[in-house]
Amino acid sequence: MPNSIEKDYYIWRLLNQKNTSKLEANNIIKEVFHMNKKLHVAYKNRTGVSAPEIKSKEGTVLDIVWKRRSRANKYFTKALQLLNNNENKLATFYFDAAEKNYIKRYEKDKALFWLYLSTKNIDYLKKLHKSYHPNIYTLIAADRVKGKYPKTITEQIRRTSIAGFDIRNPISWVKIKDKMKHSSNANIHRLANKYASQETIGIYTFLKAKASKHTKAYFPMPYRDVMQRLPLKRQALIYAIARQESRFVTASVSPSFALGMMQFMPFLIEDIAKHKKEKIELDDIFDPYKSIEYANFHLKYLEKYLKHPLFIAYAYNGGIGFTRKYLRNNAHFRNGKYEPYMSMEMMGNIESREYGKKVLANYVIYMNKLGSTTRIFSLLKILTTPQKTDTFRR
């Protein structure tokens, strides 16, 4: 197997097998690509000692990129703090510095939006509305100027599958990613076309977006045969989460070993299987239909307590306990000058914070694609009204 997160997942599976010997564990741990907590625990349980230090085989991102982003984040956080203290002029200076240092379009759009909030200068909204990137900031800008949302692509592909290709095999996906790393944009386009089928649409759109340097936003809508049986809002939510979690690549494995199109953690797969009174092998979740089935089951549970897609996204990523605690804090999502935006930006859990915003934007786009006219502003304005969004704050 190629060195990869996916290979690490199978090393973890091997370490957890009762018949794996200490010698086998000692040999296989040397092949780990990226050590994580699960691998450390599994190795110690199998051998009785801590895992040796394994130097990561991952490539390093250029220091200059990280430094610029780190600097921009510091400027942005400082600006939010100043804005909370009603020091708008100085906050604007830091928001502007953040926008100039950010490289990714999404983050530049974030800074532009807050420049508008701190100055009320419509020019920032107009500039933001010209962005090609579909995110909550560009969607809000479009609502404010009564304009169109950024262009997104949903292709209809006739071919049903690729002969001889198993979409449920993580190693097959690793090999495609390896080819992508060593290809020009033109070659990535050609590679993408090889996987233009309904079954492999996640791989196809992933490669297409990569080849365009992410200037084109693909929003596929696969598995209509099962998805159209679900309520419209549930369809949009599953699509929104799947796009953010895996880009619809069915055999995805995360560094923490979240699995499949919907990126379920192993413990959650086992818990859902227990509640459904069925046996499941972890690799079964690489079947997209099983992934959708389990996502639908889990979302039914989350929706007992949460009604808003943003809060459901927080719980899907960070857990329902984390979400309950955040919402019950009187400092969050209450009436205020910059609410609900300030609560959406100040969350300490960075992963859940950004995840929630991205899933919300995806949700709005998918609701519209499914035929239900939806504007993001109508969803944002109810976030400070508990009876419309959750049961935790009553």
What is the tally of helices (H) and strands (E) in the chain? 21, 0
pLDDT in tens, the chain (394 residues): 888 999 999 999 999 999 999 999 999 999 999 999 999 999 999 999 999 887 655 544 456 788 899 999 999 999 999 999 999 999 999 999 999 999 999 999 999 999 999 999 999 999 999 999 999 999 999 999 999 999 999 999 999 999 999 999 999 999 999 999 889 999 999 999 999 999 999 999 999 999 999 999 999 999 999 999 999 999 999 999 999 999 999 999 999 999 999 999 999 999 999 999 999 999 999 999 999 999 999 999 999 999 999 999 999 999 999 999 999 999 999 999 999 999 999 999 999 999 999 999 999 999 999 999 999 999 999 999 999 999 999 7
CB–CB of 145/139 below 8 Å? no
Please give the pLDDT value at position 22. Answer: 95
Distance CA(196)–CA(166), nearest Å, equals: 14
Gyration radius from the chain CA atoms = 22
Burial of 48: CB neighbours in 10 Å, binned 0-12, 13-18, 19+:
exposed
Dihedral sign from CA coordinates of 383, 384, 385, 390: positive
Instruction: Write out the two tokens for 130.
Output: 């010209």
Residue 17's contacts (CB-CB under 8 Å, 6 or more residues apart) are none
3-state class (DSSP) for residue 164: coil
DSSP state of 197: S
Specify the pLDDT at position 53: 81
Closest CA to 149 of 344, 373, 353: 373
- Is pTM, for the whole model, over 0.85? yes
CA–CA separation, 250 and 264 (whole Å): 12
Tokens coding 341:
């935006």
**Among the four given CATH numbers 1.10.287.3510, 1.10.530.10, 1.20.120.1200, 3.40.50.1380, the one describing domain 224-389:** 1.10.530.10
- The DSSP secondary-structure symbol of 390 reads B
Coil, strand or helix at 253: strand
pLDDT of residue 374: 98
Q: What is the pLDDT of residue 11?
A: 97
